[in-house]
Structure formats: C-alpha cells, structure tokens
Amino acid sequence: MRVGVVGGGSWGTALAQLLADNGNDVLFWMRHGEAAEAINRTRHNPRYLPEVELGPGVQATTELARIGSECRVVLMVVPSHGLRAVARELGDQLDGGHVLIHGVKGIEPVTYKRMTQILREETCCRKIGVLSGPNLAKEVALRQPSAAVIASHFDEVVQTGRELLWSSSFRVYGSSDVVGVEFAGAVKNVMAIAAGLAQGLGFGMNTMALLVTRGLAEIARLGMAEGARLESFQGLAGIGDLMATCFSPLSRNHRVGERLASGQTLDEIVRSMDQVAEGIKTTRTVHELASELGVYMPITAGVHRILFEAVSPREVLADLMDITRYVYEFAP
C-alpha cells in the first residue's frame, strides 16, 4: 500500500521509517525542497533525526496534491497551529474513501477544537482517527519497544492503522474514545513543562511523582468535562504518554521547563528552538478552556502564570503546595 505522511519533522520521519520497515510504499510530504531532495538522495532527513536511515520505500515530495491523489491512507503530523491550513489544501484531493489518521497533540486556540474536528471541517473525510501514546520519535525510530493507541469512531480506521504500523518493536492498540485520547495527548504537554521546571529547580522523584499524579487528575477532569471516558487516561494515551513526556530529556516541552527554571525567558527559549513545543500554546488554550468550563486545574494555572504572567517558578510551587489547605481535591 502507498501511504502518505504529511509533516517532515521528527515524528513524521519516525512514522515514515516505521511504515517503510513494514513493507509499505511511503510518500513523505514536507515543505522544504532542500530537505526532500536530501532524503531522496542520501536517505536521511538532514534536520530531524539525521542519524536515522530511511529505507528505499520512502519517497519525499513537496507536492501536497500527490498525497491525496496517490495515497488512500494519510498520516497527518504537522504542528497543531498549521493543521487547519494544510488540511484545507489537502482536502481538495480527498474523498470519502480516504482514511486520515493524525498524530498531532494540540488544541486549537479560540475555537478549542480538537484535531479530528479540524480534519472533519476542512475535508470531506469521515474515516478519521488519532494516533497517540508514549511515542518519543527518536526512540521509535531506533526501534526501541514502543506502543501507541489509535482512536476512531470507525473500526476500519483502527484496523487499518494497526495493520500498517504494527511491528516487532511497535504495538498498536485500538480505542473508540477519540475525545479522551486527544485531550490526553494535548494536555500532557502542559504537565511536561511543569515537570521540566521541577527538575530544573533540583527537585527529586517525590516532586515529580506528585506532579505526574496530580497532573493526570487535571487532564482527566478536563477530558471528562468534554465527554471523554475515565479509562482512557489510565492507559497508554493517558498515564503512559504523561510519564514518557514528563521524565524524558528528549521531550521538547520538558526542556522548555528546565530552561525556564534556569532563568531563561520564554522569548529566548522559543527563538532558539528549531522544533515546536506544543505545550506552550496549549497551556494558554487549556487554561482558557478550563476557566470557561469551570474545571479545576491548578498545575495548568501555575504553568500559565510562569509562561505568560512573569511569576517565578518557586512562587508558583509555593502556591500549589499551599492550595490544598483551602480546596479539597478528590482522587484520581
């Protein structure tokens, strides 16, 4: 099968390799012609995961129209802020027979739309799903044992994704809780910034465990307010993804938190990054959504204060430790 991968970053590169390893013909779309030419000539993505060799089954292109016309299954892995525009352009080449699976962990500002909702609005496709889980791109590309969840309202989407991606090093599970899987994947990036802050301030595993467990409670509260099922936050898409992102130095959002703790400003950090840390924008969006819904999310509010209100990390931590004197939190 010829499979389209839309997005030339680290995760797109890892997925293209995984698909090719499984014997699929992969059409890999990216914006920059230099990168596409380098992949086709050298079998390496010069900017993202350059140490990973892509098999001959991967062909890079800058022609988005080819993805829709030549591929019946498309994996969307562009940053969340660019998904709507790319989906709108790609939508002219799609029909009801296409399967769209995105691996984008974000929520659209202002509208609070999830990525599957954007794909539904900008294309005629109905067979839409989300791929999420503890998937640090470099580890997947190095073929370390990993797993993910594909969630969709269509069994065909889940089964197609599993058949394409399942390998000796990558397991794929199915779910019908699209809302839960998408919220888990998006909001965990906020918690990863908090975890990076804690580690950067020199705190140990007790603090990290506190952040992860209470962070999971926040994610679940918000997701369930939007119609998600609690069990989705107890599996790979929830606690699994949260643990990987909060504890790994490979996480871009974790590194943002560490650098903030070292005294760097948010502007300095963003200017120096060559990849998107989704948690920065997601923090603002989730904070606004939680306020609108009346969902209690103190860690998210604390990260928001650090990122956008110039409050020091230590002041926020002190407030978080003091808040339960006055507000009783229920588990989980």
Q: How far apart are CA 312 and CA 215, in angstroms?
A: 20
For 312, list phi and psi in degrees, rounded to 5: -75, 150
- Antiparallel, parallel or unpaired: β 58-61 and 2-6: unpaired
CA-CA-CA-CA dihedral for 211, 189, 159, 57, to nearest 10: -130
State the Cα angle at 67 between 132 and 113, rounded to 5°.
40
Torsion of CA 242, 243, 249, 255, to 10 degrees: 30
Catalytic residue among 105, 127, 188, 281: 188
Tokens 């005629």 belong to residue: 124
Two tokens, residue 58: 């991967």
Q: Is 188 designated active site?
A: yes
Catalytic residue annotation: 188
